[in-house]
Amino acid sequence: MYRKRQRSRTFLQAASEGGNLVAFKYGDVRRATRNFSEKLGGGGFGSVYKGTLPGGRVAVAVKKLECRLCVGEKQFRNEVRTIGVIQHVNLVRLRGFSSRGSERLLVYDHMPNGSLDKALFGGAAAPALSWRARFQIALGAARGLLYLHEGCRDCIIHCDIKPENILLDKDLVPKVADFGLAKLLARDFSRVLTTVRGTIGYLAPEWISGVPITAKADVYSYGMVLLEIVSGRRNARCWPATEQDPSLSGYFPLVAARKVSQGEALDGLLDERLHGDADPQEQERACRVACWCVQDDEARRPTMEQVVQALEGVVAVDVPPVPTSLQALAQDSGFLMSARTRAYL
Q: Does domain 116-341 have CATH number 1.10.510.10?
A: yes
Answer whether 190's CB lies under 8 Å from 157's CB: no
188 among known catalytic residues: no
Q: Which residues pair with 251 in a beta bridge?
A: 238
Residue 83 neighbours by CB distance under 10 Å: 19
Which sequence spans correspond to the domains of the chain?
Answer: 2-109, 116-341
Three-class DSSP category at 205: helix
Q: What angle do CA 207, 208, 212 make, to 5 degrees?
A: 45
Write down the catalytic residue from 28, 117, 160, 271: 160
Q: Is 25 known to sit in a ligand binding site?
A: no
pTM: 0.87
Q: Which residues pair with 97 in a beta bridge?
A: 23, 106
Reported as a pLDDT band with limits 50, 70 and 90, residue 343 is: very low
Mean of the pLDDT values across residues 227-233? 95
Rounded-to-integer distance, Cα 86 and Cα 100, Å:
24
At 174, which helix (H) or strand (E)?
Answer: strand 174-176
> Which residues, other chains included, contact 161 with Cβ-Cβ below 8 Å and sequence gap of 6+?
145, 176, 202, 218, 221, 222, 225
Q: Half-sphere exposure (CA, 13 Å, Cβ side) for 176?
A: 32
State which of 62-76, 111-125, 183-197, 236-250 shows the largest mean pLDDT.
111-125
pLDDT digits (tens, 9 = 90+) for 155-212: 999 988 999 999 999 999 999 999 987 666 654 444 444 444 446 789 899 988 878 8
Q: Does domain 2-109 have CATH number 3.30.200.20?
A: yes
pLDDT of residue 39: 94
- Average pLDDT over the chain reads 84
Handedness of CA 17, 19, 20, 22 (dihedral sign): positive
Q: What are phi and psi of 190, to 5 degrees?
A: -65, -30
Rounded-to-integer distance, Cα 45 and Cα 63, Å:
9
Pick the residue with more confidence: 19 or 250?
250
Answer whether 328's CB lies under 8 Å from 269's CB: no
Handedness of CA 328, 333, 335, 339 (dihedral sign): positive
pLDDT of residue 17: 38
**Does residue 99 register a pLDDT over 80?**
yes
pLDDT digits (tens, 9 = 90+) for 281-337: 999 999 999 999 999 999 999 999 999 999 999 999 999 999 998 988 877 645 555
